[in-house]
Structures are given as C-alpha cells and as structure tokens.
Structure 1
Amino acid sequence: MAGEIAAVWNELRYQLSRFGFDRLNYGYSPALHDPDNISRSMRFALSSHPDTRVRDIYIGPRLDRSPMRIWAGRNVGALSWAEAPRLLQEYGMVDIADELDALLKRLGVHAGYTIAFPPNGRNGRGSMGLTAREGLTQDDVDRIWDRHGAEIMALASAAHGRLTHMPLPLKGYKVTDRQRELLGWIADGKSVQDVAVLTGLSVSAVEKHLARARAGLEAETTAQAIARLALLNQLHMPSAE
C-alpha cells in the first residue's frame, strides 16, 4: 500500500535483511528491446550498497557483459551466483572471468542471488541482485534460498509490481505540470489548436511548451514524448500545485 518509491524500497530492504541480504540492486526498463545492452535503455535503478562505486557501476554499461545481467535480460526466475562460471562458458565470456571476479571482489559482492521478473505488457523487464551480508558464503546463501526462496520471491515480486506502477523519475529532467497537461490533451487526440482553446493559451505558447517537453524527454516527436512519459507512469499525475 506504500505511496512512494522510498517507502517500498525501505520496506523491501528491511524484509530481505531478515534473510541475510543486506545490499540490494534493482533495475527496471519499461520498454526493453535490447536485453544485452540494458544500461542504454530508459532505465530506473535503485541501490542500497553503501559504496557509491557499486551504484555507479550497476547503473552504467560496465556490467552489461556480466553473465547475471545477461541471464536476467533473457530469463524469468531466480538464479544462484554459484551459476556464474557456467554462464560464462555458455555465453562465451570466459575471457573476462578473471577481470569480472576481481571487480566483484573489490566491490564486496561475494555471494547472492539474481531475480529476473516476468516482462510486462509493454516489454518492460526488471531484475534484482541480492547481495548476502559479510560472513555468509554462497553455500550458506543457497541453503537459505532452499528454505525461504518462495518467501523472498514473493516479497521481491510484490515490491517490483508496486514500483512499476508508480511515477518513475527521469534522470536529469522534470516535466512541468503544464507540459504534462498539454501532452495529456494531445494523447487524448486533441490538436494543438484544440489544446489552445481548452487551456486558454495561444497556439504558439502551446507549441513552445511541447517543444521544451520534447527536448527534456530527448524525444524527436510529440508522440515519442508522450510514449516516454507514459512508460514512466508520468502522463497522468496529480498537479503539484
């Protein structure tokens, strides 16, 4: 029933910490067509790792070639990190095994599980990396999962489902209430002239607002701007006024 992203995230962190997972990474791409290059998509990410290096690397492209991220982009379910060597072989990535292992060790990412959520109707994909607390080995984690995996999956899936229905932030840009209003009218099938009459603005003012929205959303057309805003669940939101 949480009404904000922070509330969902904090509750999930608390619940999963009871099972030994004290650091979480979560990523959601509302419209993913290239699962091997997840970081290049319009992607929402959360991390509870205290080391900012982990957050930066997780959000960026460096881990796009990690076997767990590739697996999560192509599959549904949960996978032990003990499977990483097998995936490196399967994906023909043995040449980066030592480099990847050294990187994860430096970041304190030593044992855990990866969850890949089912795609939604918009071809959106989400995944979560659960890092075990210090002192737990991968064998310990696998035993925890054998006993409590269904509970952990239920908690993670509930959080994922709630997050994907919330307005998701757009990095580096905040759509104004006026821009959202005008894009909403256009999405409803109104012309620019219709929107001018409905809002009391001039046609040129409407066009200027739409142009700023397109630039901020990095969209080439108004239709693309509307689609991006809709994917972020921001097309219809209460006014901040």
Structure 2
Amino acid sequence: MDGTSVDEVWYTLVQSMAEYGFDRVLYGVTHSRTGTFLGQSDDFLVLSNHPSDYLDAFIRTGAYVDAPMVKWAIDNVGVASWRHIQDRARAGDLSEAELRVIELNQRHGLIAGYSISFRNATVRTKGAIGLCAHKCSQDHVDSIWTSYGREIEMLCRLAHLKLTSLPSPAPSRPLTPRQREVLEWVGVGKTTQDIALLMGVTNATVEKHLRLAREALSVETTAQAVLKASVHNQIFLSGS
C-alpha cells in the first residue's frame, strides 16, 4: 500500500474498494482502549467517505457505540458479513439502541456490507473497517466477497498497518521539531538538565518546550505527553 501520508493511503484504499463495489468506507482506530471502552473520542483516528450528514448522526452523536457491527468488532478479530445483523434481528437479539442505529443506516441506504476487525500489537489499540455497498442487497455483497474477499481483506489489512505507522492527524496541535526533540530525550530517560546540555539551551527553555508539548497534546503530565506522542507516531520520526 503506497503513500507517505494518511491522506494518500486513505485515497488509495477508497479507490481500491470502489473498484470492488464498496463505495462507502468507514475506518477507525483507537490507541486508548480499556476493555469494551474505546477511549476518548479525541484520541480516535476516523476516516470515511460517507456524507457529512451521516457522519454527524453516526459518529459525532456517539451513536456508533450502539452499532451492532461496532460491538462485534470490539469483541472479535476477523471478517464478518452484515448478515450477522439480519440474523440477530430475526432472533430478537437486538436492543432498542441497536435498532435505532439500524434505522439510521437504512435511512441512508446502508444495509449491506462487511466489517473487518484487525489484530493489533497492544491491548490498548483497536482498529476496524466497515465496507458498504450503498443501496445494494446483502446477497449481492456476499457474492462480491465470495469472489474477491481474500484480496479485499489483504488490502484493508495492509492499509491498516500503513495507517497506524504514519503520524496521525489527531485533533491535537502538531508538535514543533523542538517539542518532539525534548519528548524524545525524555523518552530515553534524560533529565531536564541532561536535555539542556544536549540541546545547548537553558533548563527553562527545556521546561517551556515540555509545557507547550503537553498543551499541544492536551495532557497533564510529561509522561502522558511522551506516551500520546508515541502512539500517534509524532516522535522518533525517521528524518525528523
């Protein structure tokens, strides 16, 4: 999967999925998962080509937490047909909240698709992708998957690996080169005095860079800043 930025990788993935018939794609990854809680929304990376009115209703209101396939993705690793939703509906196994999400999707013509939940290196990370063939039947989508499912899954997994290795366009302000440098030195165990000597600046200047880095990352402690910058691939960058 080519691309040196999140935007480039995402564009390539969306174009590839459209060629297979999946014209609506929703990808999400969090690095702050605890159990069934996906963490703070500010730490999510969410990419989609769904219309903004649908994303407003599904993502920004928090309705996604009750989506049957999102719940499936949290608890599982692998691939699942959205027929899973039909099966649960017939069994009377859907909550009122889940039914409201299904009704929302139906109003937007989102009734058929596949979801892939990725295996990740840490328990705090969870990534998944939903592929939808807009206004198509599940029978049609299942036939696509029978023919090309392995290829589609491979492309999505490659994109996920690439996206999680690139600096995340998180809502936090980007770090400056000096802020990255001081966090990197902290990350390898250097003290404020050590860093001041290494960078040729005063202790006060180092403290200023650390304070601004904490503010940019919306965290309270330097340890939290190092962790957040690391999981969002904003420090220890090649060529930085």
TM-score by length of 2: 0.90
Mapped contact 1:112–1:138 kept (Cα < 8 A): yes
Q: 1:88 to 1:182 in 2, by over 3 A?
A: farther
Counterpart-to-counterpart distance in 2, 1:209 and 1:148: 50
Counterpart-to-counterpart distance in 2, 1:36 and 1:214: 24
Which segment drifts farther, 207-216 or 225-234? Answer: 207-216
Q: Give the equivalent residue in structure 1 for 2:100.
A: 99
Q: 1:61-81, CA deviations, whole angstroms, 9 ceiling, x for partnerless residues?
A: 221111111110110111111
Q: Give the equivalent residue in structure 2 for 1:235.
A: 235
Mapped contact 2:32–2:39 kept (Cα < 8 A): no
Mapped contact 1:32–1:41 kept (Cα < 8 A): no
Counterpart-to-counterpart distance in 1, 2:199 and 2:36: 41
> Where does the alignment leave 5 or more consecutive residues of structure 2 unmatched?
none
Q: 1:91 to 1:153 in 2, by over 3 A?
A: farther
Q: Give the equivalent residue in structure 2 for 1:75.
A: 76
Paired-residue identity, %: 34
**C-alpha displacement of 1:56:** 3.2
Q: 1:88 to 1:127 in 2, by over 3 A?
A: farther
How many residue pairs get matched? 238
Q: Give the equivalent residue in structure 2 for 1:19.
A: 20
Mapped contact 1:19–1:144 kept (Cα < 8 A): yes
Q: Give the equivalent residue in structure 2 for 1:159.
A: 159
Q: Are 1:47 and 2:48 counterparts?
A: yes
Q: Give the equivalent residue in structure 1 for 2:183.
A: 183
Q: Secondary structure at the match of 2:142?
A: helix
Counterpart-to-counterpart distance in 2, 1:93 and 1:159: 32
- Measured on the aligned residues, the alpha-carbon RMSD in Å equals 2.3
Q: 1:126 to 1:151 in 2, by over 3 A?
A: same
Counterpart-to-counterpart distance in 2, 1:38 and 1:69: 14
TM-score by length of 1: 0.89
Mapped contact 1:36–1:64 kept (Cα < 8 A): no
Q: Give the equivalent residue in structure 2 for 1:195.
A: 195
> Where does the alignment leave 5 or more consecutive residues of structure 1 unmatched?
none
Counterpart-to-counterpart distance in 2, 1:212 and 1:38: 24
